Amino acid sequence: MPLARHSLSLQHRDETESEIVFVVEDAYFAPHHQINGHRVVSMSEFLSAPVSERRFNIAIGNSTVRERIVNSIPPELALPFSIAAQNHVSLDENDVGCGAVLCNFSHITSNTKIGRFFHGNIYSYVAHDCVIGDFVTFAPGVMCNGGVVVEDHAYIGTGAVIREGSTARPIVIGHGAIVGMGAVVTKSVAPGATVVGNPARILKC
């Protein structure tokens, strides 16, 4: 919520003009008065409130749930907005999709393309010439070096390092892959695979 309040302030709005609320899907809604000073409302209440404009962001780590909720909200009723911490850094020629959450001390260098509803947690970075898909999650302290492709729904764990590739021969983290915390990725990861360790290897159950 502090990040959302900051993002609204950059749009020259304040909470006298725009109320920020927590929204819970109807199936999981139980009455709460407030959380950290903000009202808690059901999805139905949020989507039916008599307001001139509704915006939303989704702070849920599970990327599949994130996508499901996005797809459940009619665009004529509410549109996504991105949230960035005051000390987030983004340099030249970056293209970041809607609905991003860019936390404290996160960093995007230059010439990157990032898809919709990306989560960049604290101290994570995306270096130059990377392509990041939709609904990707970077846990705290992820180091994604240049020339890397991360496909949709991939999850990169806390403190993981992805070695630098190149635009001609990128390291590719496949669709839905999981990189375990602290892993050091030195080569591409297949879609749906889970890799751990240094160097990162496929986790065999």
pLDDT digits (tens, 9 = 90+) for 151-191: 999 999 999 999 999 989 999 999 999 999 999 999 999 99
- Amino acid identity of residue 188, one-letter, is S
pLDDT of residue 185: 98
Let me know if 158 is exposed, middle or buried by CB neighbors in 10 A (0-12, 13-18, 19+): middle
Task: Give the CATH number of domain 2-80.
Answer: 3.40.50
Average predicted confidence (pLDDT) for the chain: 93
pLDDT of residue 16: 59
The residue that leads in pLDDT, 8 or 135, is 135
CATH-assigned architecture of domain 81-205: 3 Solenoid (2.160)
**Per the residue annotation, which of 32, 128, 153, 175 is the catalytic one?**
128
pLDDT digits (tens, 9 = 90+) for 72-84: 999 999 999 999 9
- Range scoring the smallest mean pLDDT among 57-61, 134-138, 148-152: 57-61
Least Cα distance to 38 among 22, 60, 54 occurs for 22
Mean pLDDT value across residues 128-143: 98
- pLDDT category at 7 given cuts 50, 70, 90 is confident
Instruction: Check if 128 is active-site.
Output: yes
pLDDT digits (tens, 9 = 90+) for 84-107: 999 999 999 999 999 999 999 999
pLDDT of residue 11: 65
Domain residue ranges of the chain, discontinuous segments joined by +: 2-80, 81-205
Residue 22: CA count within 13 A, CB half-sphere: 18
Whole-angstrom Cα distance, residue 123 to residue 88? Answer: 9
- pLDDT category at 5 given cuts 50, 70, 90 is confident
Question: Is residue 70 predicted with pLDDT exceeding 90?
Answer: yes
